[in-house]
A and B are shown apart, each in its own frame.
Chain A
Amino acid sequence: MKWIKYGVLFSIALIIESNLSWFYAIGNHTPDLIIILLIYIAIKEGKIKGTSTGFTMGLIEDLIVSVSFLGLSSLTKCITGFIMGYFTESRRSRLFPGIMFPTSIGIIINEFVRTMFRIAGTSEGILSAMLTKALPSSIYTFVISLIIFSIFKPKEDLI
């Protein structure tokens, strides 16, 4: 049942991203709603399900909305799903009691890996792309994720 719920949430996130992104874009930057959902799922379900869900969500996102690099979102999202599961499993959650740190790490890895692939073959410098594109988008996604997680808590003891 909960996987049906995740599927519905994923469809909604995908539809919002592919129809209404102009509505909430700040400059050229839009939050990655799918990564927020993935983080939520990985926190609740752990490493393995986080990894496989990240791969599946990324692949569908790539097939529907990505212009190039089919497989790039699945790569970044499976890594993020794994890391989120890794950080939030019991032993590590004592070291990082809260979801702010792992969430920020997950979002940054997703955005930075994606940026590295995207600028390959272009004249844009890596530092400039990270600072002007990856970082602002990461911050926007992080802010939105904190708002969502403060309402829909993935795990009570992690907040």
Chain B
Amino acid sequence: MTNFISFIYNSRDYLTLFLAIFLSLFLISSNDNPAVSSMRGIVLDSYRFIQKPIFTISDLMKVRKENKIIRRKNIELSVMVSNLREARIENERLRNLLSFSESKKVYEFVSSEVIGYNMGSFSNSIILDAGLEKGISKNTPVVNSDGVVGKVIDAGEKSSVVQLLDDQNFRIAVTINPGGANGILHGNRGLSDLKEVPKGLMVTVGDTVVTSGYSDIYPIGLMVGIVRSVDERPEYFFKDIKVKPFVTMAKLKEVLLLLDLNLNKGVTEK
């Protein structure tokens, strides 16, 4: 017994290391466990109290410069809205002519401030000042005026973590306009990779990439990015396409979260 105790005592450094490695591997394998998710929510909510004032101070320093840009953008958007309104009226008229029926999801927009960034070579996330109490849950789509920002991966009561579009593990089903080719966008810092697009389909530099609506998370037609390069290698079946996201992740201040009202209320609108 004494030998065992002295063995434990003498090996306490290695035992500590072994225990820490074991606990870490256990946590890695339990990432999808709801208990782990709720633990993260509690920690996020606590951290929000420290994070928010600090972020506000650093944010105030950039306000004047951004105000100018926003005013200019506001004018541009007003013109765009007027054009879109006309297009919508025309679209509705043509749909009526064709007796086109559609089922669509109804979304409610919830705005939220960004109160933290995590930028790295692989993982990119932001922390939002809104959580479960505003109806936000895992996989809630996050957008801003430029397009898709990402999706919520964890939500606390008053805060949530968003996986950004340029995160290495981010995937989104997209359509390339005007050609209509579908593919899967793989997140990456800088230019994202658009995969699974067969060589036979027409894709050119400058084409717009939008959400295809095939996933349960994102509605159809959200702006994602612009095609920057298209390559074809003889040894591959698919095109090698690089896409530049419309959203500049490092400058995010405010975002919108799309709450699926059908999902929340259990109503399907026809």
Contact = CB atoms under 8 A, between A and B. Distances in A.
The finding on whether chains A and B are genuine partners in a shared complex, rather than unrelated, reads yes
Interface of A: 11, 15, 17-22, 25, 28-30, 47-48, 51-52, 54-55, 58-60, 62-72, 74-75, 78-79, 82, 85, 114-115, 117-119, 121-124, 133-134, 136-137
A52 B31 contact: no
Interface bracket on B: 35 or more
Contacts of A79: 17, 21
A125 B21 CA distance: 26
B5 interface: no
Contact of A19 (B36, B117, B122, B250): B117
Contacts of B17: 47, 51, 78-79, 82
B13 A82 contact: yes
A18 B250 contact: no
Nearest to A121: B169
B228 interface: no
Contacts of B26: 71
B28 A65 contact: no
A18 B51 contact: yes
Given A47-B13, A122-B169, 5 more contacts: A21-B119, A29-B121, A67-B118, A75-B24, A134-B121
Interface centre among B20, B23, B44, B195 (most CB of A within 10 A): B20
Contacts of A21: 117-120
B17 to A, nearest CB: 5
Interface stretch (B88-96, B102-110, B160-168): B160-168
B122 A133 contact: yes
Contact of B31 (A15, A71, A115, A124): A71
Contacts of B28: 69-72, 75, 117
B190 interface: yes
B118 A78 contact: no
A78 B54 contact: no
A13 to B, nearest CB: 13
B8 interface: no
